[in-house]
Amino acid sequence: MPGAPHHGNRDGAPLDATRARRIAIVRFHLNGEPTAVAVPVHWTLLELVRYTVGLTGTKQGCDKGDCGTCTVRLDGDPVLSCLTLAVEAEGRAVETVEGLGVGGEAHPLQDAFARLGAAQCGFCTPGMLMSASAWLDVLALADDPTFDRATIARVLGGNLCRCTGYTKIIDAVEAVARELLARREESDAPVGADAPDSQRAVAP
């Protein structure tokens, strides 16, 4: 659990003395919670998240950087947790799919994936969501927020799916991105620009 250091191997058995000497305490924020865990120094961030903390939303696929299903966000950037050492999380912010929604509400991407049939077996979905959410956060602040479906395909290029054929996944990400840009345009519009004359501020 976040906050409580754990000692043990993947099966929960105690580590022997020699291996225990190669344990590191990693202190970081996990889905916004200050967290400290003890892990063997050679463990990956994927092993930390799944086997020490028990957040199994992050999937273990190829374990060698090919499939993207282990993607989490490290200081906001998508990273392959199977190729990232757990100790690299020291002092940093890690976000997994369990932390994607806010206040018990699903993230708009999760809603769109469900609504548009973008998940079938769902094994690739957490990684897709983490890659797409990182891109959406960049898009929200970009000077030039233009994109097309090829952009989304590139964003998700490191995330493999065996089920969907990708079309519905891109549909879902595109739908959320377009909503985001529509909201951004609304909030960027000059105050009163679309208001009826009677509601516009009148200079004294």
Instruction: State the residues that interact with ligand FES by CB under 6 A.
Output: 60-63, 65-70, 80, 82, 119-124, 161-164
Expressed in angstroms, the distance from the first to the final Cα of the chain is: 60
Residue 148 DSSP SS3: coil
In the bound state with ligand FES, the residue whose beta carbon lies nearer, of 54 and 65, is: 65
User: Min. distance of Cβ 52 from ligand FES in angstroms?
Assistant: 17
User: Min. distance of Cβ 31 from ligand FES in angstroms?
Assistant: 19
Number of Cβ atoms within 10 Å of the Cβ of 143:
4
In the bound state with ligand FES, the residue whose beta carbon lies nearer, of 63 and 137, is: 63
- CA distances, 194 to each of 36, 186, 188, 197 (Å): 51, 10, 12, 9
Residue 9: which residues within 8 A CB-CB, separation 6 or more?
15, 51
In the bound state with ligand FES, the residue whose beta carbon lies nearer, of 120 and 151, is: 120
Q: Which residue do the tokens 């609304």 mark?
A: 186
User: Min. distance of Cβ 116 from ligand FES in angstroms?
Assistant: 13
- Give 93's DSSP letter: E
The per-residue DSSP string of 23-80 comes to EEEEEEEETTEEEEEEEETT-BHHHIIIIIS--TTS--SSSSSSS-TTEEEETTEEEE
In the bound state with ligand FES, the residue whose beta carbon lies nearer, of 5 and 120, is: 120
User: Min. distance of Cβ 133 from ligand FES in angstroms?
Assistant: 17
In the bound state with ligand FES, the residue whose beta carbon lies nearer, of 124 and 140, is: 124
User: Min. distance of Cβ 25 from ligand FES in angstroms?
Assistant: 24
In the bound state with ligand FES, the residue whose beta carbon lies nearer, of 147 and 166, is: 166
Q: Are strands 33-40 and 77-80 parallel, antiparallel or unpaired?
A: unpaired
User: Min. distance of Cβ 85 from ligand FES in angstroms?
Assistant: 13
